[in-house]
Every structure is written in structure tokens, then in C-alpha cells.
């Protein structure tokens, strides 16, 4: 037996079969392949914020003098600033290294290995990935055709489960959780994590309800509206006894000094950042209308900073051979990165993040160029 085989035989067996999280390709890799400068790439595959961080956050990063000191494990200043932002008090708030870390913490807090975690695909892949890392079962309750929850199936799946994840707006479909859906999930008594990573683009949040529902956990992030995806700063709001427990169970120094400084400065500069959000909401409308005008695309309404669209198939005769994957590959060859998912439910769809106006123009130009090439190819054959 080789050394490599013997060390793997000691790993927890469920990890050996883990499919792994499907990462997105870094833009530099595509740029190098195409012989382009990295900033020539139009990156619309990660729901990031094209306006970047607030200048106040960048100044705070360069002015902070405490990078040689460990961060505050109880996150006093940060929790105070976050609480002020969501209209609660700090005992309702815990911050993490991105909301991904908090998803992991919630799974480990509520689901023993072999317990079940419920989610509603198509949805954010991190819930099932991190439940899988923990050895938990994932019970996936598919959404209906309009991406709303199948409540009867959800409630049946909740029996015997330990934790529920529901994103609102949902990534990638863009629709919100409805009040009646949330109330039905909360009535199960299970911990229900409503992931509101995109709440600022929807202008709606359930955060205030954590005062009344001790099984509601609302997850938020500064990755999207505040343009801090690379610094990794997420937070959750929940009933104070749960927050107290999570503060004890998390890694003490989970939020680094840079992320803390940038987050506090961003929260103080929220009026400016919300102008970027407003620009992206306007651009979402323009992108949605432009996609809907393409004859072989069906764009779904979205409350997030992204739009899911279906590539209609079989396509009209003039555009033969066009499918969602070919479209994504062809757009990437033209320097425009959008997200294609390989799952059966989304195989014929693309998710396109909302960018600046010139990014919308580049998306439409790339789609038209790929379609024109396919027509030309079809005529030649």
C-alpha cells in the first residue's frame, strides 16, 4: 500500500466520495488564454459588484495600523456597526469570513453527521456542499417550475430534518421567498436559515423578524452590495441565545483585521454604496429587457444582481446548434464570462450577473456574435 493510499484510508470515509464545490475560473486564466489584459475580461459569472469597494473602505485598509494584532474574537465594533445597519442590537449579530463560513458553522451547530439538512434546488450550492463535508444527509426539495417552493414536499422533508436553508432572493433563480412560505417553514420549529445575500438589491429583508422567531436565522453579506467579496465578510442575525452559542463555537479569530476595518468603513459609507446598488437595479432592468428581446432567450424576473435565462431549445431554424453551454463557451471566447451550470434542471440556462451599462452592451454583442457564427457554420455545412 502506498503512503498516499494509507493516509487516505484514515480520512473520514464520507469525504473520500465528496464531489467538491465547482469553482469558477479566475479571470486572469481566461485573459491569458485569449491573450487579453485581465481588465479586458467582462466578469459576470460570480454575482460580484463591478463598482468595487467604497473608497472609504480602501482608505481604512491602508490606514489600519493593527495588522500585527489578532482581531477581536467577540467582534465588538463590527457587531455594533452591523447591528446599527440592520436595525437590531449587537447581541443579535455574529460575523464570519463570508456567509459561507456561517453556513458551515450552522451546519455543524445543528446537524450531527447523518442528520438531514433541507434545501430547495436550484439554489446556492454551498448548503449541500458544506452539509456533505459535515457528513450530513442533504434532502433536496426541488422548486416548482416558477421556482417557488413546493411547500407540501418541503414540510414532509422537514419531518426528521435538523436545519433548513432557503435563499431570498434565491440564487440562481432570483425570486424571493414568500411570507406564507417562510411562516410555514418556521412553524416546523426547525432552525430556518433565510440567506439574504442579495437583500439590498431586492429592498426587502426578514432580519427584524428574528426578534419574534427564535428559530429564524437571517444570513447577510457585504460581498455583494458593498463590493467586498474578496475580503470575505458575512454575518447572521438570530436570537441572542443562539448568537451567544455561535460566538463560542466559531473560530475565535475568524474575521480578519482587514475585513473588519473595511466592513466598518463601508457601513459608515452606506449611502454612497447604495447608489451603486441603485445603478445595478436599474441596469438589471435594462439587461433583463435586452435579454428578453433576443429571440432564443427567456429571461426570468430577478430581485438579485443577476438574471437567469433559458436558452430555448430546439432553437429557431436560423440558429441551429446553439445551446446554453455553447453560448457560455462562445461568450467566454469573446471575453465575457457568464455562469453555466451542468445540473439537469439548469443545463439549458445561463446566469448573468448585472454589471455596468457597458457590460450589458458587451453581453448582448457577444450573444449576437456567437449566434451569428453558428448561423454561418450551419450554412457552410
Sites of contact with ligand PLP (CB under 6 A): 47, 98-100, 124, 167, 171, 195, 197, 221, 223, 229, 234
- Contact assessment for residue 363 and residue 352, using Cβ atoms and an 8 Å cutoff: yes
Q: Which of 197/246 has CB closer to ligand PLP? A: 197
Within the chain, what is the greatest distance between any pair of CA atoms?
A: 68
Task: Please state, in angstroms and rounded to a whole number, the distance separating the CA atoms of residues 36 and 362.
Answer: 15
CA atoms within 13 A on the CB side of 287: 30
User: Reading across the β-sheet that carries 116-119, which strands appear in turn?
Assistant: 93-96, 234-237, 216-221, 192-195, 163-167, 116-119, 137-140
Helix or strand holding residue 237 (H, E): strand 234-237
- Contact assessment for residue 260 and residue 71, using Cβ atoms and an 8 Å cutoff: yes
CB of 111 to ligand PLP, least distance (A): 18
CB of 45 to ligand PLP, least distance (A): 10
Q: Which of 75/171 has CB closer to ligand PLP? A: 171
- Per-residue burial over 137-157, b = 16 or more CB atoms within 10 Å of its CB, e = otherwise: bbbebebeeebbbeeebbbeb
Q: Which of 223/360 has CB closer to ligand PLP? A: 223
**Angle between helices 257-268 and 270-292 in degrees, nearest 10:** 80
Q: Which of 304/330 has CB closer to ligand PLP? A: 304
CB of 184 to ligand PLP, least distance (A): 21
Closest CA to 178 of 308, 303, 352: 303
Q: Which of 90/169 has CB closer to ligand PLP? A: 169
CB of 106 to ligand PLP, least distance (A): 12
Phi, psi of 166 (to 5 degrees): -140, 120
Q: Which of 197/322 has CB closer to ligand PLP? A: 197
Q: Which of 171/254 has CB closer to ligand PLP? A: 171
Q: Which of 49/136 has CB closer to ligand PLP? A: 49
Q: What is the DSSP letter of 38?
A: G
Q: Which of 100/283 has CB closer to ligand PLP? A: 100
- Contact assessment for residue 25 and residue 336, using Cβ atoms and an 8 Å cutoff: no
Task: Please state, in angstroms and rounded to a whole number, the distance separating the CA atoms of residues 299 and 349.
Answer: 9
**Helix spans in 64-198 (H):** 76-86, 98-110, 126-133, 151-158, 179-186
CB of 288 to ligand PLP, least distance (A): 18
Residue at shortest CB range from ligand PLP:
98
Task: Please state, in angstroms and rounded to a whole number, the distance separating the CA atoms of residues 57 and 75.
Answer: 18
Q: Which of 24/245 has CB closer to ligand PLP? A: 24
Q: Tell me if residue 311 falls in helix, strand or coil.
A: strand
CB of 168 to ligand PLP, least distance (A): 9
CB of 221 to ligand PLP, least distance (A): 3
Closest CA to 336 of 27, 23, 95, 71: 27
CB of 150 to ligand PLP, least distance (A): 19
CB of 154 to ligand PLP, least distance (A): 17
CB of 378 to ligand PLP, least distance (A): 36
Amino acid at each position: 500500500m502506498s503512503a498516499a493510499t494509507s493516509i487516505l484510508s484514515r480520512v473520514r470515509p464520507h469525504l473520500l466520495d465528496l464531489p467538491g464545490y465547482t469553482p469558477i475560473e479566475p479571470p486572469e486564466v481566461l485573459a491569458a488564454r485569449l491573450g487579453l489584459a485581465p481588465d479586458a475580461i467582462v466578469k459576470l459569472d460570480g454575482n460580484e459588484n463591478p463598482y468595487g469597494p467604497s473608497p472609504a473602505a480602501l482608505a481604512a485598509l491602508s490606514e489600519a495600523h493593527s495588522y500585527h494584532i489578532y482581531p477581536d474574537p467577540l467582534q465588538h465594533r463590527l457587531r455594533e456597526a452591523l447591528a446599527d445597519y440592520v436595525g437590531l442590537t449587537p447581541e443579535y449579530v455574529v460575523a464570519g469570513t463570508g456567509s459561507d463560513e456561517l453556513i458551515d458553522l450552522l451546519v455543524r451547530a445543528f446537524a450531527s453527521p447523518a442528520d438531514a439538512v433541507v434545501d430547495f434546488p436550484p439554489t446556492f450550492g454551498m448548503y449541500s456542499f458544506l452539509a456533505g463535508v459535515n457528513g450530513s444527509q442533504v434532502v433536496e426539495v426541488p422548486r416548482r417550475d416558477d421556482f417557488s417552493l413546493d411547500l407540501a414536499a418541503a414540510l414532509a422533508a422537514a419531518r426528521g430534518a435538523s436545519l433548513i436553508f432557503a435563499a431570498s432572493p434565491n440564487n440562481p433563480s432570483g425570486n424571493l421567498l414568500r411570507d406564507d412560505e417562510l411562516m410555514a417553514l418556521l412553524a416546523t420549529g426547525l432552525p430556518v436559515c433565510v440567506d439574504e445575500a442579495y437583500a439590498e438589491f431586492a429592498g426587502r429583508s426578514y432580519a427584524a423578524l428574528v426578534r419574534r422567531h427564535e428559530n429564524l436565522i437571517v444570513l447577510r453579506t457585504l460581498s455583494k452590495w458593498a463590493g467586498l467579496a474578496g475580503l470575505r465578510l458575512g454575518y447572521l442575525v438570530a436570537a441572542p441565545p443562539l448568537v451567544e452559542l455561535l460566538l463560542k463555537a466559531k473560530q475565535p479569530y475568524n474575521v480578519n483585521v482587514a475585513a473588519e476595518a473595511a466592513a466598518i468603513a463601508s457601513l459608515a459609507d452606506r449611502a454612497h454604496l447604495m447608489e451603486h446598488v441603485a445603478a445595478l437595479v436599474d441596469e438589471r432592468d435594462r439587461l433583463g429587457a435586452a435579454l428578453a428581446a433576443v429571440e432564443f432567450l427567456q429571461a426570468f424576473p430577478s430581485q438579485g444582481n443577476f438574471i437567469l435565462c433559458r436558452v430555448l431549445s430546439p432553437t429557431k431554424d436560423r440558429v441551429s446548434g446553439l445551446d446554453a453551454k455553447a453560448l457560455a463557451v462562445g461568450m467566454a471566447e469573446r471575453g465575457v464570462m457568464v455562469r453555466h451550470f451542468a445540473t439537469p434542471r439548469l443545463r439549458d440556462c445561463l446566469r448573468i450577473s448585472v454589471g455596468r451599462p457597458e457590460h450589458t452592451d458587451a453581453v448582448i454583442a457577444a450573444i449576437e456574435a456567437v449566434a451569428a457564427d453558428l448561423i454561418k457554420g450551419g450554412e457552410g455545412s
